[in-house]
Chain A
Amino acid sequence: MIHPSQTSKNPTLRALLPGDAGAGSGGDGFRKADLAEIDASCRVPVLFFFLSGLAWLIAGSLLALVASIKLHSPGFLAAWEWLVFSNVRTAHLNTVIYGFASQVSVGVSVWLMCRLCRIPLPAPGLVTVANLFYNLGVTVGVGGILLGDSTAIEWLEMPRYATPILFSSYALIAVWTIVTFRLRAERHLYVSQWYLLAAVLWFPWLYGTAQVMLLLEPVRGVVQAAVNWWFAHNVLGLWFTPIGLASIYYFIPKVIGRPIHSYYLSVLGFWSLALFYNWNGMHHLVGGPLPAWMITISIVASVMMLIPVITVAINHHFTMLGHFGKMRHSPTLRFIVFGAVSYTLASLQGIASALRSVSEVTHFTHHTIAHAHLGMYAFFSMVMFGAMYYILPRITQREWPCNGLISLHFWGVALGIVLYVVPMSLMGFIQGTKLNDPTIRFLDVVQFTLPWLQLRTLAGLLMVAGHVAFVANVGWLLVRMFEPYRKPVVRILTGEAETLAAGK
């Protein structure tokens, strides 16, 4: 046999699989589990990750609104120290990054890995425990930030009594992803699995390094800034981006019923991302007090990101070609395609801002904030919403209760984020131009930003409305879980609509 299944050597691991899924079939692997069996095995842990993620999303959205209002109306809620702008802003970032985005990522990643490995999730209880630990960590961390214990290190603000809890949870999830991978019944690997495996291995390394060198034994001087941005930029590039791309590579083909346009391109995309992205971080320090070689190398690596970005964009576009109409009928596809397009735009904007001449203008302005939201929200969060629309009905065995709420969610957040990113990118650019003109008083530049900041609050309100609609729909779905099972009115679970659409 050319490929002896690695799993056959692991009777101990194999024992973790429920029922006959652990039993070998025909020598070279396990029985491939049914999709429904896999979905059911993921139900509890994935629901835990999704639901707690959504609770943090609501908390994070409200914090974002307060922060946004405070920036144009500094007297708003000014009496309470724990609600001072920087606390609220930082608590917002940490709840949406670590509370919402990371947790939903883990939920999606666990489910996707099982589906592609074609096995039920081994020992799901362990993943649920990782989730409880994780939420404990986020609660302690965000609480610490609001009480004034923020480390003031961007993306690593949670105090050092919280981060080890999160680290152990991440480590457990990484180990469990590898165990699932080793037990796989499908020997061949799909590109999504590469991204997922990479993400779960990269993140603990990044987080561990940052914790040791910045919180436990802080390094001296500006080396802190280098470690900080190596970490913070790679959280985006090596944790969120791979999980987002893994989802896009799975859900677009799955929803439209057509394999990815070119598998070769996806291989090129993965390896070029792995090679170049992790060298990008120092472009956050252009013009700063660090040696030129560090910054230059990151600018070069940022420009090299054109390769994976264009590769992925071409691949996704040609896969979708002729199937864009399906977006009208599939919430998953709507959100995922919106996210995929935003990935290209966010990457191109990021590459441009890394250039010295552009960074000179945009670096210290709201342009950067707009860019962060284009990446984390318009790309990543939208992809995660899409993935949840696909996964939730399947793991709960219940249909989405209300199509109106789905539309409200999509249009609220889609319009909201466009209204956020486009004006703020433009405003940041003008703000930077004004800052670079020493004849313009600083306070005049501040005054210039005010109407734009008010517009941002409006955009934020739209997004919050979308989130509330989504959470209401999810809550309704959960209520249905406790009702006796009725024959679905239509579609996802019966396959009626699938035949309907395919026959078109």
Chain B
Amino acid sequence: MTMSYGPLLFLGILLTLASSWVGLVLMPHRQLGSLGQHTDPDTAAIFPAARAGEAQQGAEIYRSLGCVYCHTQQVRPEDYGSDLERGWGRRRTVSRDYIHDRTVMLGTMRTGPDLTNIGERQSDAAWHYRHLYNPQTTSPGSIMPPHAFLFETRAIGPAGRSTNALVLEGAFAPPAGREVVPTRRAVQLVAYLRSLKSSGDLPEAPVKKEEAAR
């Protein structure tokens, strides 16, 4: 006659999960949970810089629209994948790059390209508006969904076309007498996208000399 395994089972169940709870949850929190900014000793520049108001609000739009499901925000190291060769960054990203993010959106899927440094790679706001309104205008063949709902199509006022109206040609142009203007959410989202830059020189992730000179 053997004993019931009840208590042993119960202890085993609790102890096994406790081990990784300590190792993979508490331990990283201890190691990385209070990382701060780094001040460059030569230039006194501070990395990573905190995000300005409009861009910070844009991060919430980025979260709410679920951009993370198709776009990563992480640049892999030099000898791993082709992120650097594709020009997605001048160095790999490290833990410190993410300390200001309310929700860290590293992403796990590259249906679209990485956006870690999109603000550096494409700083033209007009391009971003056109691309969001309909990606085919800037990137024919893209499978990104059009985000026309972030824009308002309205009649052109007596004062003429608004300064912020999108320049759209051919099939993408609105009907005559109407114009497409970004809503507040589109403005915030583009401010966020243009703020995405993680290429400051960090001791744990230096930008290579010749790269920096470019």
Contact = CB atoms under 8 A, between A and B. Distances in A.
B201 to A, nearest CB: 16
Interface string B27-67: 11101111100000000000000000000000000011111
B81 A435 contact: yes
Contacts, number: 218
A87 B66 contact: yes
Contacts of B20: 230, 234, 278-279, 281
Interface in B104-121: 104-113
B99 A220 contact: yes
Interface of A: 2-3, 6, 70-72, 74-75, 78-81, 84-87, 89-90, 148-154, 181, 187-189, 194, 197-198, 201-202, 205-206, 209, 213, 218-227, 230, 234, 238, 271, 274-275, 278-279, 281-282, 284-285, 287-291, 294, 297-298, 356, 360, 363-365, 368-369, 435-438, 442-443, 446-447, 450
B3 A70 contact: no
Contacts of A84: 65-66, 145, 147, 149
B141 to A, nearest CB: 5
Contacts of B212: none
A132 B13 CA distance: 28
A289 B106 contact: yes
Nearest to A431: B110
Contacts of A219: 29, 33
Contacts of B163: none
A78 B148 contact: yes
Interface in B65-110: 65-70, 72, 74, 76-77, 80-82, 85-86, 92-99, 101-110
Contacts of B159: none
B134 to A, nearest CB: 9
Contact of A220 (B1, B33, B105, B106): B33
A213 B107 CA distance: 19
B24 to A, nearest CB: 5
B126 to A, nearest CB: 20
A368 B108 contact: yes
B147 to A, nearest CB: 7
28 contacts: A3-B3, A74-B144, A78-B146, A85-B66, A86-B69, A149-B64, A153-B103, A189-B9, A197-B13, A198-B13, A206-B17, A220-B32, A221-B32, A221-B96, A222-B104, A230-B21, A234-B17, A234-B20, A274-B12, A287-B76, A289-B92, A290-B95, A294-B24, A356-B80, A364-B110, A435-B82, A438-B85, A450-B143
Contacts of B32: 220-223, 290-291
A148 B24 contact: no
Task: Report the interface size class on chain B.
Answer: 35 or more
Contact of B66 (A6, A150, A201): A150
A363 B81 CA distance: 10
Nearest to A271: B12
A184 to B, nearest CB: 9
B177 interface: no
Nearest to A290: B95
A230 B13 CA distance: 16
A360 B72 CA distance: 14
A450 B143 CA distance: 9
Given A84-B147, A213-B25, A152 B63 contact: yes
Contacts of B149: 79-81, 84
B22 to A, nearest CB: 11
